[in-house]
Amino acid sequence: MAIATIPGLGVAAGLASSIGAVTVYQDRAVVTRSASSELAAGEHELELENLPISLQANSLQVSAKSTGQASLLDVKVRDAFQTDTANERVRTLQEQMRKLEARQAELDDEAAVLDNQRELVLMMQRGATEPAKEGARLTLDELKAIQTLSADTLGKTLASLRQVAERKAVLEREIEALQGQLDIMRGQLSRRSKTVTLRINLARAGKVDLAVSYAVGGARWAPAYDARLRPADRTVDLGYFGVISQNTGEDWKNVKLTLSTARPALGGGAPTLQPWIIDVAAPPPPAP
């Protein structure tokens, strides 16, 4: 995939990459990412962002192939911190949440007022049918008038309550969706990551294909077996497969996956050689 890049040694350009292959060991995994971009002649700084915090810097390997005679000048790994853009996005979502919650409080108040109106109508109906202290009763026409008024008022009140309930249901779904976005953004802010910065020089403009591999912790595999008995021919089918678990934070979907029983060592160096001293043999000591 091609992306815009910034030539020179100014602000590094983010480089989109994808995981192509993963080799899983019993205590780690080696991930290989690929990326490509069209670059102008000269020096460029490219960044691979949002890599796992468990990336082991001493395992990093980078290869670059280009039609423009590319030379890889430097590779650096650093811890990445939360960005102002992410913080601003969280603040925007929080402001939207405050507005929705204020609207929710308004609907609660509106529902409380309507509930009070309903209770008043019901009290009026009960009062109309109960005899007064003096024993006077309402006439039939007065009862009909109260019934008509209360039915009209109660009907409108109940209809308004249903509308408020519907608006509250819609608002609650909006709040739930917004809360989900906030949780995701807060998770991204609290999640640490690493960034790999590549400095590359091209003799002439051309396409650059990069392959970046690194080891990460938080991944393992274990063997598992499946035995199936065939009584008819008195044989057993034995199946062997691997069970993989990983919490690296990366998605290994649709990658070339390899399981290895090797135990690679990282950051190894050449052994220290002991010197061989060549000298003239010393004469034997004189006999006593």
Check which CATH number belongs to the domain holding 100 and give it.
Answer: 1.10.287
Q: What percent of the chain has pLDDT over 70?
A: 80
198: closest CA among 21, 62, 55?
Answer: 62
Last residue of a domain, one of 189, 207, 230: 189
Total domains, the chain: 2
pTM of the model: 0.55
- The reply to whether 42 and 89 lie within a common domain is no
Q: Judge if 155 and 230 occupy the same domain.
A: no
| Within-domain flag for 282 | no
262 and 243 part of one domain: yes
277 is a domain residue: no
Other Cβ atoms closer than 10 A to 25: 18
One domain, residues 59 and 137:
no
Nearest CA-CA partner of 111 in 48, 171, 165, 179: 165
**What is the average pLDDT across 248-270?**
82
DSSP-derived secondary structure letter, 77 = E
Q: Are residues 101 and 115 in the same domain?
A: yes
* Domain that includes residue 244, residue range: 1-81+192-266
CA distance 154 to 249: 57
Is 71 within a domain? Answer: yes
Domain membership of residue 38 (yes or no) is: yes
Specify the range with the lowest mean pLDDT, choosing from 65-74, 132-141, 158-167, 252-261: 132-141
Report whether pLDDT(10) > 50. no
